[in-house]
Amino acid sequence: MSLVVNTNIASMNAQRSLSTSGRELQTAMERLSTGKKINSAADDAAGFSIAESMTAQIRGLSMASKNASDAIGLLKVVENATNDVTDMLQRIRELAVQAQSGTNSTGDIANLQQEAKALIDEIDRVSENTKYNGVSYIGSGKGIKNIQVGYNDGDRIAIETYDVGADKIGVNVNNATTGSDTTDKSLVALKSGSTYLDISQTLTAESIQKETVTVGTLSSYSGNTVVSDGTTSVTVDHASVPSDLADLVSDIQGGTGYASLNFTVAAAGSDIEFTWKTAGAKTGATFTQAGASNESIATKAGTNKVPGALEVITGAIEQVAGYKAAWGAGQNRLEYTVSNLMNVVEFTSAARSRIEDADFAVEAARLAKNQVLQQTGAAMLAQANASPQLALSLLA
């Protein structure tokens, strides 16, 4: 090895090695202080990109799991609220069964009706005042709610809440006799205890025609009094017919001749039997008289169109039970959704950890190695810097 002064190759080599070990030492210290193997894209460009994508997935799924848990909370709130609604409906049905017994006085039925009205009002209050996050989901806020249960568009589960107000349950009660739905009755119709008439029949041209139609409890009409004691038979003609039946007589008459009408009233809420004599009646004439929208819990079922109170209440109970079954199924589904999301988050986090998290055992060994290299490098640099001084000994 030649002895030179201007260019100290040994010193340059020691400096380069010292710089390399310094960078390695700095990297090891950074990884140990942050716990991450990838602290910038320069550390591992491909790994950095993959880890960022996984981070987006993990954070999105974690929030989706929270969304699903919130939806479970919502369904638990509405289900437990409707438990109270069901209890009240069962009580109203008990009252209706009691009210329809012939052993009750008029005062007894009025007292039963008063309790039923209070319970129906409470059902309305519960439906509107039971809220989750400020929204009445079993009242005016009902509808389909899309729950985001994933980190991409379209990862949604639809749950539906329903209005259980007294005017929304008990409708579309199927009439066992006719097999058709009656859409004009709901639980709210049982509040006031008022009476109604509901007739829907098609009349045919016959010299003498007899027809039976279903009505509810009849009230008194001007000109003629219709009572429900099971004994009264009233004959009316065109001149004195009650206004509610005037259209019926007009259809029977067909605008010509004279018609007489006789009807017999049985017990309240049962059938009325019409017998009429026609002269030139219209063929296929139709009369429909829709009654008042309210009835009482004492109203019995008819044989044609009008559902009784028990049928309306039973329909409401079944309707609410169907809602609760749907909410229970939704809770079960969302529970499995949360479990699946947590699994995905766990194993995706494990995959990301293998990419970007620092192995402390490896990094600690690297730190120790480079600390030693730094010390030996500094010592060797000192020796290399001192070697040109040997040239002075040649000049002595």
pLDDT tens column, 164-210: 998 888 865 444 344 444 445 678 878 765 433 333 333 333 333 44
Q: Which of 199, 182, 201, 184 is nearest to 294 (CA)?
A: 184
**CA 110 from centre of chain:** 37
Mean pLDDT to the nearest integer, 137-145: 89
* Lowest model confidence (mean pLDDT) among 57-61, 62-66, 81-85, 265-269: 265-269
- Tens digits of residue pLDDT in 364-395: 999 999 899 999 988 988 988 888 888 787 77
| 121 pLDDT more than 80 | yes
pLDDT at 263: 44
The pLDDT value recorded for residue 185 is 62
Q: Per-residue pLDDT for 221 more than 90?
A: no
Q: Which residue has the higher pLDDT, 316 or 394?
A: 316
Averaged pLDDT, 40-55 = 90
Question: Between residues 345 and 295, which one has the greater pLDDT?
Answer: 345
* Contact indicator for 66, 115 with CB cutoff of 8 Å: no
Q: Is the pLDDT of residue 141 over 60?
A: yes
For the full predicted model, state whether its pTM sits above 0.85. no
Identify the residue whose tokens are 């010299």: 207
Structure confidence at residue 394 (pLDDT):
79
**pLDDT tens digits along 317-348:** 999 999 999 999 999 999 999 999 999 999 99
φ, ψ for residue 391 (rounded to 5)? Answer: -65, -25
Structure tokens at 293: 């929208």
Q: Which pLDDT band, with edges at 50, 70 and 90, does 79 fall under? A: very high
Q: What is the mean pLDDT of residues 121-128?
A: 93
**Weakest-pLDDT range from 33-37, 160-164, 245-249, 285-289:** 285-289
% of the chain residues with pLDDT over 70: 68
Angle at 384 between CA 381 and CA 388, to 5 degrees: 145
Average pLDDT estimate for 349-362: 91
**Strand 271-277 to 199-203 pairing:** unpaired
Q: What is the predicted pLDDT for the residue at 249?
A: 44
Q: In the prediction, which pLDDT does 43 show?
A: 84
User: Which of the listed ranges 7-21, 77-91, 196-210, 279-293 does the model predict with the highest average pLDDT?
Assistant: 77-91
Model confidence pLDDT, tens digit, residues 238-287: 333 334 444 444 444 444 333 444 444 333 333 444 444 444 443 333 33
CB 287 within 8 A of CB 235: no
Residue 300's φ and ψ, nearest 5 degrees, are -90, 160
pLDDT reported for residue 192: 65
Measure the CA–CA gap between 290 and 201, rounded to whole angstroms: 12
Helix ranges, the chain (H): 9-34, 45-99, 106-129, 243-253, 309-356, 360-386, 390-394
- Give the mean pLDDT of 63-90: 94
Question: pLDDT: is 358 or 262 the higher one?
Answer: 358
The token duo for 209 is 């025609």
In the chain, the percentage of residues whose pLDDT exceeds 90 is 34
- Non-local (6+) Cβ contacts of 110 within 8 A are 193
Average pLDDT, the chain: 74
